[in-house]
Amino acid sequence: MKKDNSSNCTKILFVAAEVNPFSQTGGLGEVASSLPIAVNETKCAEVAVISPLYECITKEVRSRFEFVTSTYVQLSWRRQYAGLFRYKTRGVTYFFIDNEYYFKRKGLYGHFDDGERFAFFSKAVLDLMPLLDFVPNIIHTNDWHTALVPIYYRLAYADRPWYRGMKNIFTIHNIEYQGIFGREILGDVFGLADFVFPRLSWKGSVNLVAGAIRCADIVSTVSETYAKELMLPEFACGLENLIKDYAEKMTGIVNGIDMEVYNPETGADLYAVYSAEEIAGKAENKKNLQKYLKLPVKANTPLITMVTRLAAHKGLDILKDAMKGLVKEDIQFVLLGSGAPEYEGFFMDIERAYPDKVRAIIAFDKSLSRKLFASGDIYMMPSKSEPCGLGQMMAMRYGTLPIVRNVGGLNDTVKEGVNGFVCTSHTSEALLETVKRAINAYKNKEEWAKTVKKAMTTDWSWKVSAKKYIDMYDALAKNP
Ligand code: GLC
């Protein structure tokens, strides 16, 4: 496609390894879905999304996609087919890259050749770009899977006439995943010369996040607090010194949530609808969830819910020890999530030991997760680190007050006594203390109702953050 730069509106190609509702394992998929919708609604900028065409996208959904074109992508010595599909919905154009060898597999990630799969995807994004009916000023990539886009751009595309002048934003959703590989991957898989190793290396290995930090024009992350934390060894997983070197590129914008998808008033997946003004339905949800999970139906026992990946950094390590004290209190605790076998086993054992108090549902279940957000009184989210966190905002939207650590986006969205409870150190004692504070506060029904109302009526939408993204996009697009 010919480049036409006559339109004033900044155009952004948002590149993500997952996008809800087509594919999702976590918060990235959620953001890839809701941020573009929010930006496009303002009509001040236009975002299109590009993602792999995974096996999990059903035939029924695929049948609505339009085939655009195909090409072959050269990945070192490999020549791989890349089909391009397009689908428009909710004001956003989605592009999907098709290659059955790489993406017709169970699960999005965790394959032995993830480095090759996402190198293919990244290269295909750049090669297919002139064939989209969408010419971006800005390429916005996310996490290590797409980190090769700004790297390839800087090393191999920036000087080609069609690509000249594009800008790159790289967003870190979680620094724990860096895309670390041995040096041999450069030539054999990425098709890059060995002398570019210093651009991509960190501590002796190829590190794609390090490479993207060096090659992108702006490096952003998903909350202001996390942007600062990324310069500290406790949070940056070894990249703190590199990030400090590039501090002037760093910025943090807190995520929002899709207020339509998470809405107690429309009640998708809920037992009963309710709102901040008409709260009665919330108790209905609690009662029905207790029945469904065969817990004693008790209106006045605080129900603590938690939806999480079962990983230590989500605070499961301290929660595990705090559980011993927690089960002595008059509470009910319902956990939904899957992950490390150590935690799955622990919570199943606790359920067996305290069948009247604890339920552990080892699954990823979106519909049930909404029931948990809506039915709980208290939402547990004691993450050791949390770049942004969406669960706390979803819980507040449904009037369930969160218990959080004062880190990352949790620190930017939850305030003690105002809309939740804040634990200030990563120990099981401190967590238990915080839960006890919440249980005590729950006893004062009048105050509790006020806090719930405050949490429910705060604007967690993308409006404010979308504006910040648009300002960032516009400023960068104008930058020579
Ligand atoms: C990652 C982070 C989470 C964040 C999400 C979306 O999953 O761990 O904190 O909310 O990305 O940016």
Residue from 146, 235, 253, 255 whose mutation best tests the ligand 1 pocket (most atoms within 8 A of CB): 255
Q: Which atom of ligand 1 is nearest to the CA of 226?
A: 9
The CATH homologous superfamily to which domain 10-256+464-478 belongs is: Glycogen Phosphorylase B; (3.40.50.2000)
Q: Whose CA is nearest to atom 10 of ligand 1?
A: 389
Q: Whose CA is nearest to atom 6 of ligand 1?
A: 27
Q: Is 256 in the pocket of ligand 1 (CB under 6 A)?
A: no
Q: Whose CA is nearest to atom 5 of ligand 1?
A: 27
Residue from 223, 308, 390, 407 whose mutation best tests the ligand 1 pocket (most atoms within 8 A of CB): 390
Residue from 173, 383, 405, 407 whose mutation best tests the ligand 1 pocket (most atoms within 8 A of CB): 173
Average pLDDT by stretches of 10, the chain with 480 residues:
66 98 92 97 96 96 97 98 98 98 96 98 98 96 98 98 98 97 98 98 98 98 98 97 98 95 94 97 98 98 96 93 97 96 97 98 94 98 97 98 98 97 97 98 97 96 96 93
Q: Which atom of ligand 1 is nearest to the CA of 390?
A: 10
Half-sphere exposure of 115 (CA within 13 A, CB side): 20
Domain 280-459 listed as CATH 3.40.50.2000:
yes
Q: Whose CA is nearest to atom 12 of ligand 1?
A: 173
CA 126 to ligand 1 center in whole angstroms = 25
List CB contacts of 432: < 8 A, sequence separation 6 or more: 322, 325, 326
At 279 the pLDDT is 97
At 232 the pLDDT is 98
Handedness of CA 304, 381, 424, 393 (dihedral sign): negative
Cis ω before 52 (30° cut-off from 0): no
Same topology, domains 10-256+464-478 and 280-459? Answer is: yes
CA 456 to ligand 1 center in whole angstroms = 21
Q: Which atom of ligand 1 is nearest to the CA of 176?
A: 8
Q: Is 222 in the pocket of ligand 1 (CB under 6 A)?
A: yes
CA 468 to ligand 1 center in whole angstroms = 18
> Do 168 and 138 form a contact (C-beta atoms < 8 A)?
yes
Q: Whose CA is nearest to atom 7 of ligand 1?
A: 27
Among 72, 90, 89, 94, CA closest to 81: 72
CA 28 to ligand 1 center in whole angstroms = 6
At 8 the pLDDT is 76
CA 388 to ligand 1 center in whole angstroms = 5
Domain positions in the chain: 10-256+464-478, 280-459
Ordered alpha helix ranges (H), 105-263: 114-128, 148-152, 185, 197-200, 208-215, 224-229, 233-236, 240-245
At 26 the pLDDT is 85
Among 26, 414, 387, CA closest to 171: 387
Q: Which atom of ligand 1 is nearest to the CA of 30?
A: 6
- Return the structure tokens found at 211: 């490479």
**pTM passes above 0.95:** no
> Do 44 and 466 form a contact (C-beta atoms < 8 A)?
no
CA 445 to ligand 1 center in whole angstroms = 33
Q: Is 48 in the pocket of ligand 1 (CB under 6 A)?
A: no
Residue from 144, 221, 388, 412 whose mutation best tests the ligand 1 pocket (most atoms within 8 A of CB): 388
At 312 the pLDDT is 87
Cβ-count burial of 44 within 10 angstroms (0-12 exposed, 13-18 middle, 19+ buried)? Answer: middle
